[in-house]
Structure 1
Amino acid sequence: MKITFTGPESSGKTSISKAIAEHFEAQWFPEHAREYLLNRDGKYEFHHIEQIALNQDMIRQAEEKRGMKIYDTENTVLYIWSTFKYQKCAESVKSLMENQRFSHYFLCSPEGIPWEEDPLRENPNQREELFDLYLAELKRQKVDFTILEGDFEARKEKAIEIIEEISLSQGGFCV
């Protein structure tokens, strides 16, 4: 089973994905963009988004193990980031997004989550606009997703409930 968390900046993706991975004792995959940008002192250009996507895909494929996997972000994040900031997206990023397969997506709403200042974050006043882009894109992709809203505990309870339902319908937590 592969579960991913997506959504705008500072909407709780990392915190909730870590908590869910710990709850289910699942393999957790951090957001690759953060490490990449920290190594570049936060500086990047259009072509770096493609490099982040390719690196992320390669690292995750190499490290995946059997069992449940929890991902802090996926390629929809890179697609929306690129199109929002540069009004274009590399074909490889689009292809990676179109071909990724997850059992379920959790779309993290910024509502109820205060903006956390971070030198790598760029859009404190556009989180709702970005959320709407994520929502439209997930609908366009026709993937299974749940919107997570409310405080951290409400989000965690909802995610656990959904994952348990999916697990039961699939006969357990195996891949």
Structure 2
Amino acid sequence: MENTVSPIKKIAVVGPESTGKSTMSAYLAKHYQTIWVPEYAREYCEKLTEPPTWQDEINMFYGQLALEAGMQPQANKLLICDTTFITVKIWSDQMFGSSPQEVLDELPKRPYDLYLLLNIDLPWEEDPLRDFPEMREHFMDVWYKELDALNANYKVISGIGPERYQGAVAAIDDFLKTAV
């Protein structure tokens, strides 16, 4: 009988600003001995001298897709993604009142196997690329709505320090037990 290798499972670490997505992604990649895809928008926005435009949002969408596709072959069974291009939809809706059509078209076509929605129970940390400390509850509600609209498989991860990491590992381990 031929030995078949299961396809890469994609785990998205998502949530509002300042919920520890990058730190969690790095931790999970180390724990599962794989790689993690950084948030393309962070690097992109660090180079901007003005607020992002509609075209910038489209560029970030395509950049996130390319970065993820380029890194997936290096993954060891799991690809941990520090956010997804859903953030382009969320930010575009907030800033411009609508989203680029290419983003809307691709959302249902590019599901992740599991989303870890990081809760807003961590203290806010200042960062020049963070904009809405007073809107964390609003954006948490938006994430619920977006993931529900996609009929996404997601778990909310709460807690501080080790409790948060243990919750994320438990969610992934539970998923892997039932993954086909």
TM-score (norm 2): 0.89
User: Which residue matches 2:33?
Assistant: 25
User: Which residue matches 1:37?
Assistant: 45
1:46 aligns with 2:48: no
Deviates more, 1:16-25 or 1:59-68: 59-68
Mapping of 1:37-116 within 5 angstroms? 37-41=45-49, 43-65=51-73, 66=75, 67-111=77-121, 113-116=122-125
1:132 aligns with 2:141: yes
User: Which residue matches 2:5?
Assistant: none
CA RMSD in angstroms, aligned pairs only = 1.4
Deviates more, 1:161-170 or 1:49-58: 161-170
**Gaps spanning 5+ residues in structure 1: where?**
none
SS of residue in 2 equivalent to 1:40: coil
Paired letter, 1:8: P
Q: Distance in 2 between matches of 1:19 and 1:68?
A: 13
SS of residue in 1 equivalent to 2:133: coil
SS of residue in 2 equivalent to 1:14: helix
CA contact (8 A) 1:17 1:70 kept: yes
Q: Distance in 1 between matches of 2:146 and 2:131?
A: 21
1:13-50: CA deviations, max 9, x gaps? 11111111111111210000000011224632122111
SS of residue in 2 equivalent to 1:126: helix
CA contact (8 A) 1:8 1:110 kept: yes
TM-score (norm 1): 0.91
Aligned-residue offset at 1:168: 2.1
Larger radius of gyration: 2
Deviates more, 1:64-73 or 1:25-34: 64-73
Deviates more, 1:51-60 or 1:36-45: 36-45
When residues 149 and 94 of structure 1 are mapped into structure 2, their CA distance, relative to the original with a 3 A threshold, is same
Q: Distance in 2 between matches of 1:143 and 1:136?
A: 10
